[in-house]
């Protein structure tokens, strides 16, 4: 049984993430989408871990071999606990590669796990959750960038945040 983890912070999940999850689901028998914490981004968090997991469960319902789980701490600890030896990461452009290579090498030094890099579809090469949030915050149209299940929640959460700031 070939099993892989697709990790990320998914705040929010974008169509680019779904593209990578779909590719992983074709390559592996089982895929666990692991919703974690990126310490570098945690201050700008929009959705709680539970909300992101619920969004991903809805979006991934289309893939029968994909499940969703949350994790805190090291990704490699999650991999060991779930007996997973492959991490799937999407590459949008060469600029992703330096950082992703460093993380892949660190992860494989911590546990018996390898990282498989999957190039994203070119139509998503500019897509990032942080940019989606910024564009949506200023009223830009992100309807083609996030799954329809997530769009309403994104708009509502940003409106709540804007009201809090007033
Ligand atoms: O979607 P992101 O924000 O790029 O996801 C990054 C994430 C959550 C996969 C990464 O930050 C991570 O693996 N965090 C868990 C902590 C960890 O294992 N850190 C060491 C990485 S070498």
Query: What letters, b where the CB count within 10 A reaches 16 and e where it falls short, cover 56-93?
Result: bebbbeebeebebeebeeebbebbeebebbbbbbbbbe
What's the whole-model pTM score?
0.96
d(CA 30, CA 15): 20
Tens digits of residue pLDDT in 71-102: 999 999 999 999 999 999 999 999 999 999 99
Q: Look at 50-54, 69-73, 155-159, 160-164 and tell me which has the smallest mean pLDDT.
A: 160-164
Nearest CA to ligand 1 atom 1: 8
Instruction: Count the neighbouring beta carbons within 10 Å of the beta carbon of residue 105.
Output: 11
Mean of all residue pLDDT scores within the chain? 95
Output the pLDDT for position 43. Answer: 75
Reduce the DSSP state of residue 1 to 3 states and report it: coil
d(CA 22, CA 66): 9
Atom of ligand 1 nearest to the CA of 41: 3
Tens digits of residue pLDDT in 6-52: 999 999 999 999 999 999 999 999 999 999 988 888 778 999 999 99
| Sign of the torsion angle spanned by Cα atoms 68, 74, 79, 81 | negative
Nearest CA to ligand 1 atom 18: 74
Strand 30-35 versus strand 66-70 pairing type: parallel
4, 36, 74, 89: which to mutate for ligand 1, most atoms within 8 A of CB? 36
CA atoms within 13 A on the CB side of 31: 27
What CATH number is associated with residue 72? 3.40.50.620
DSSP letter at 30 equals E
34, 42, 74: which to mutate for ligand 1, most atoms within 8 A of CB? 74
Domain range holding 92?
A: 3-165
Nearest to 86 by CA among 24, 43, 37, 140: 24
For the chain, the domain total comes to 1
Tens digits of residue pLDDT in 109-134: 999 999 999 999 999 999 999 999 99
Output the pLDDT for position 148. Answer: 96
């Amino acid at each position: 049984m070939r099993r892989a983890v697709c990790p990320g912070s998914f705040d929010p999940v974008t169509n680019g993430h779904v593209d990578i999850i779909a590719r992983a689901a074709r390559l592996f028998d089982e895929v666990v989408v692991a919703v974690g914490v990126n310490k570098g981004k945690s201050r700008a968090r929009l959705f709680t871990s539970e909300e992101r997991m619920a969004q991903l469960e809805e979006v991934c319902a289309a893939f029968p071999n994909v499940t969703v789980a949350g994790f805190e701490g090291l990704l490699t600890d999650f991999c060991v606990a779930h007996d997973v030896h492959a991490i799937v990461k999407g590459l949008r452009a060469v600029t992703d590669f330096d950082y992703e290579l460093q993380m892949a090498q660190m992860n494989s030094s911590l546990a018996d796990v390898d990282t498989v890099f999957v190039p994203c579809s070119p139509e998503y090469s500019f897509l990032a959750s942080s940019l989606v949030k910024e564009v949506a915050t200023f009223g830009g149209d992100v309807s083609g960038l996030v799954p329809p299940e997530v769009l309403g929640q994104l708009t509502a959460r940003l409106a709540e945040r804007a009201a809090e700031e007033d």
